[in-house]
Structures are given as structure tokens and as C-alpha cells.
Structure 1
Amino acid sequence: MNDRAKKRNSIVSRIIDGSVTIDSVKDFENLLKAFPDDPWLHRFFADLLEREKSFYAAADAYGIAAELFIEEGMIMQAIVSKILEWQILGLSYQEGQDFYSSLRETRSKNKRLQRFFIKMTYPELIAFMSMLVVRSFPEGSMMKNFGDEENNLYFVISGSIEETIYHRLEKRGKVQKKSSKNLMENDFWGEIYPFEKEKISPSTVETITRVELAKISKRRLIKICRQYPNVKRLVQDLYMSRSKSHEESSSYTVRKTVRHQLPTQVNIKIFSKEPDKAPLDLSGFTENISLGGASVVLDANDKIAHFVSLVGKQVHIQIYLAIAFVNLSIFGTAVWSKEISLEGKKSAVLGIQFEEMADKDRRLLQGYHYGYEIEQDRIWSLWDSLIGTDAGTSSLPAAT
């Protein structure tokens, strides 16, 4: 990756996570002259123009952002940009049809969302988009508490969220163990389906970085599904596709604890787009890990001046699975980073989104992620003995 691309990625990632704000229209115009094809820059420029009450210019910028997001295969981001454009200018039939056609022709990076949206008819898509509400939240915002009623479906447009799930373990006399997973760009959350069931949240959800979400309420979604039964089938398929990756693990005798919260040593290679430049080798341990990605606490390393420059780069992570006595190699992308102090030196937590894995690797990670009950006891006992505490066990938070 050349210096120009590094600069662009650094600027964009800092704007996305909220650590950099550009309030000058002129400065943003100069930035767009340097990087005219970046959809995120056009999207943030549109936000700035709208704040400055330059509504028609903002609408144009939202439209450009939507086109560029479609070219990048980023369906959800394109949809949100179009929603924001149409909130200013209104929707014409021809423009709506053109957008619908473009959406159906794109090759999305997220097959789950692609299937959900392109299988809608034009009236169904417009009805769904008209009910979406777009909101941004700063780092550290509590989005959902344990015990809250599940009333909304959320799509993550940008940023990262941590969901902490509380599992009851009454058989063994323990109240619970908790697991956490990261929700990133294009993930969704909110347990509102099946609609007939009233559900109470088993988890808390908190933003790790600045986050933008698109929300649709359960009440509004039910209204759409009554008018368009096909949308209800697509909602069902959306939830089923999310749970499908856990089907194989359900055949195990699983105790709902969280292997993935145990720190596991990993080695990471960060690749450069410059062919002659060697990868950057780093090491660390997983803060949490799931089938979709991992949070890795990097060892303190003075070689890296700005950890944010890692965001957007391809990574190769090697994980030693002690139970299986194998090294698991997974490719992915660094999607967020957060600077921390480790051993008195600058370090970071790096969020990695995994690419599609081979079936063998997926089974290995599933076995590690869940494991058999005896193995779970053994590894938790070992971890408890190492740190001298009852790791992972605490009382449930009070329902609110």
C-alpha cells in the first residue's frame, strides 16, 4: 500500500470511529479532490453539508456515495445513503427503479444481506427503506441492557459493537457464565423474530467505536410483513442464515460457557499492497473470538507508530488450539482498532473480521469455540488456577 492509500485509509477510519471530525466544507472539498472515489468520504461530506443546511448539495453527495457504495458491493451502506438523499429530495419513481436495478446487479461482500434485499420486489424494498431510521452513537454508548424487551431490528452500518450474552448454568450451582462477540459492519442484532414471541434481552450491547445503525421497529416490520408476506419469509431466512453457522455445534453436548473469552496466543501477519514489502509480524492474545472474527490484544510494540493504519489491511492470523494440538490459519481484514496502554507502552486491540473458512477450519474453530463439557471444565479449571480467580463466573446483572 502506497503512502497515498495509507493516508486515505487513516483519514477514513478516523472519521468513521469518530476520532477525527472535519467541520470545514472547503477542507472536505480538498480531501475529495485527492480521493474522489471513496464512498465514505462522500457520505461524510454529505453529512457535513446537511449540518450546514446546504440541503441540495447534501442530497447530491448522498447520491454519489450510494453509487460508489454499490460499486464496492456495500449494499446496506448504499441503502442508507439513498434513504438520506430521499429524505431531502423525495423519491421519484424512475430514480427508485434505477436504484433497485443497480442494487440487484451488484456483487455484494455480504451474501446474507444481498439475499435479503435483492429478493424483495420494488414495492417491498421501498416500503422497508421507508421504515428504517438512521442514527449515530458515540463510543461507549449502552444500546441495550440485560432484561430489556426486544422491540427493534438493528443493522450495523459502520463501527463496532460488543454484545455480552449471559448464560444460566443452574445445574452446576453457578449462576452464569458470560460470552461476548463483536458486531461489525453489515451485522444485525435484535431478537424480534418470530413476531408472536415476546422476548427479553439475554445480553447487553455497547458501542466500541462511534457507530451508525439503521433501525426498524418490530411494530413497523410486522405492518410491512402483513402487507407483503414475502418480506416475512425473507426476515425468517435472514434469522435462519445467522443461526445456520451454529447448527453443527448443536450436535455436541454443549454447556453454554465461553471458550472464546479465554485468552489464546496468536500470531498475525499484516500484509502490504506493495509487492516488495514484507508483511508486518505481530503477536498477541485473543480478547474474544467467534466464527465471524476476533478481538486481539497486540503485544506492546514500539515498531508501530499509528495502530489505526492497520485498519483495512488484509491479515493472516494463526491460532494455536491447545485442545486439538493444531495451528489454525485464517485470513481476514482488520476492521477497527483501539489504542491501549500495555506494560507502559502503546499497544492496541485489533478487531479482525474473518473471511470465509474451509469446512475443516470451521469445524476446528467450532470445536474450540464450544467444546465438549469435560474439555470445557478442564480448560476453565486450568485458567482459574493460573489467574487465581473464578474466571468467567459472576452474578447476572439486574434486569431493568
Structure 2
Amino acid sequence: MAGIVIVGGGQAAASMAARLRASGYVGAVTILGAEPVPPYQRPPLSKGYLLGEMPLDRLTLRGDDWWAANGITLRTGTRVEAIDRSARRVRFAGGEIGYDQLALCTGATPRTLPEAVGGTLAGVFTVRTLADVDAMAPEFRAGRRLAVIGGGYIGLEAAAVARKLGLEVTLIEAAPRILGRVACAETADAIRRLHAAHGVTILEGTGLRRLTGTAHVDGAELMDGRRIAADFAIVGIGVAPETGLAQAAGLTIANGIAVDAFCRTSDPAIWAAGDCAAFPWGRERLRLESVGNAIDMGETVADNMLGAGRAYQARPWFWSDQFNAKLQIAGLNTGYDRVVSRAGEGESFWYFREGALLAVDALNDPRAYMVGKRLIESEKSVTPEQVAGAADLKALLR
């Protein structure tokens, strides 16, 4: 029997394989991962790993012996080149393999700057893989100058690590403010204050004209004519879902690899999970780029491969570590029309739409995060006035 083949070697793939075995599946399970290393955690790459606080052996999701003990064939350094849907086979350099069911966990790829604005200069990095971080790590030496392009979470986390290691950091954000697409102005203000207190220079509403240098980057020229000196640069301007393989195979693409409520693609023998997969969310298709989503989708696919018929229920949660602060996020703030700010153990910002709670950002406030997450997941009705006036947030759960 051909069994189950999983393309991609990240969190979704590892969670799916583990769930298949835990659920009693005894057929062949093969993971084809493009990277030359076993599945590992990505969030610590730009934080603990880059700081030298988390060694490589703590990054990996499973020990080497676990894969063999569970009868899972893990093929690292194997980039799938094509899917033959009619023959149910996938092809890679040096071989091919058949499948009964196929899962695409191909993740996402960082957006890069074009060559015309210096994106291909030496010393320009993105943050996605272990190889990316290993390549930039030697640049992180005290006194060096870093230009960060992009004021999202990746850019801000890289800026925080660089400052902790004693670098001079300038962050350039073309939009009017940092975190413009993902957080309210109140959250952005709190994060900006945090970075300013630690010596990061943040330039907002300032577009990048180009990175300068001949062979190696030596600075940045801004749209307003200012020039910033830099020894290297990190580009954090978002990611794009990795859909090339699926598109070439004729699968439906819509904001990612389109799946139904059960995480099945337009081919009934092929599933998708993680950053690459776009699932139904109201009248739209949503992709979630988070560890929680990768785990939950991976496990949902495993269950449904085995006949569970279980619709995927997204429970969005995220986090970001910057300096001494942990930002925890529950829910999705899309379409909010009101924000309630609270001071507690730290700070929290509660998003509402037409009086209904959508999401909460909790900065060094785990109690607010816990309460908000439970309220959102239980769909418990709570008003902005109740959140603003509650002496004890836990009372809102009763």
C-alpha cells in the first residue's frame, strides 16, 4: 500500500504524522522535507536561537529516534518537483513515490525586495529558516549597524534581538505606523514605547527608495532623501504562501491552497494544512500564519484522512517576544470598530465589532490573555463597558 505522503517538513507535517500514529494508523507515512534538517520550531529562530539561548537540539520537534520508533519515513533535503494526480505519485530529484492520500504542508516564503532596490546585495537577509538565521548570525556583533525594513512582528523581533546584543538599530516602516495591518494603534503605541526605551530608532511613514552599496549593502536611502548607514539589513515585509507545486498540479488557489471546511483541496485525495492553506472563514478564505494553526490543521487533516469528517475550527492565537515583553494575542481583530484599553499586570487591548468581542492583545498581562481567549472561544457575550469596568476580569467568565 502506498500510504500517506506529507510534503513539507514543518510544524504542520510533524503534528499530522504524530496524530496519524496516535490514532492507530498503521500504513506507511512518509514526510518529504526540503530543508536538510528534521522538523523544528520556527518562532525561536529570531529570538532564543539567534540570541544563543536555545541550542539546535532544543529547536527540533522530535528526537531522531522518535521517527524510526514510530515507523515514519523522514526524508530531509528532498524538494518535491511535481505531483502526478492521475497516477497519485509525487516526483523529486532522484526519485518518486506513490500515495493513497497526499498532504501539502509547504508553508510560506518571505517576500523579498527586488534587485532594482538592492534586494540582492550581499548582507541583505530574510528570517524564515534555520539556514537564514545561521547565515545572518555572524553579523550580530555589538556596535554594528542594522537596518530593518518592515515594522511587522518579524522586523520588530529582529530589532529587539539586535539591540539586546548591542547593535545600533534603525527600523524603517513605509506605512504611517508599525503593525498597521495586524494591530490597533494602541498596541502599536505600546510596542513603539518599548522599542524607544531600549534605543531602537523607528522611522514610520517613510518609504525605502533603495538599499545602497555595490556588492555589499552599506546603507539605505529613504524616499524623503535621508540616508541611513548600515552594515547589514533584514527585510521583514511579510510572506507569501508556497503554492507553486499545488498550482502546477491544477489545484484551486485562492489566497493560498484552497481547502474546504475539512481541509481537503479540490482533489479529494489531497489535503493541505498550515501557512499555505486557505480555509473558509465566513464569506472569505483565511490563512493563519501561526504555530497553533499549523498544529490544529495538521491534526484535523490526520483525523479526516482516517474518516473523522471533522470540520476545522480555527482558534486563532499568536505571540511575540520583544525585549522583556511578551505580547499574547487571542482571536482575530478583522473589522473591529472599537478598542478598550486596560491596565492590569501589564496592558491589554480589547477589540470589538458592533459590541461583540473579537480579539485581545495582552502585553505582559497573562491574566487578560487567558480571560480573553476563554471568552472568545466560548463565544460568551461581553460588552465593552463590562471589560472596561471589571475590577476582576475573571468575573467576566462566570
Q: TM-score range with shorter-chain normalisation?
A: under 0.3
Larger helix proportion, structure 1 or 2?
1
What is the TM-score with the length of structure 2 in the denominator? 0.27
Larger strand proportion, structure 1 or 2?
2
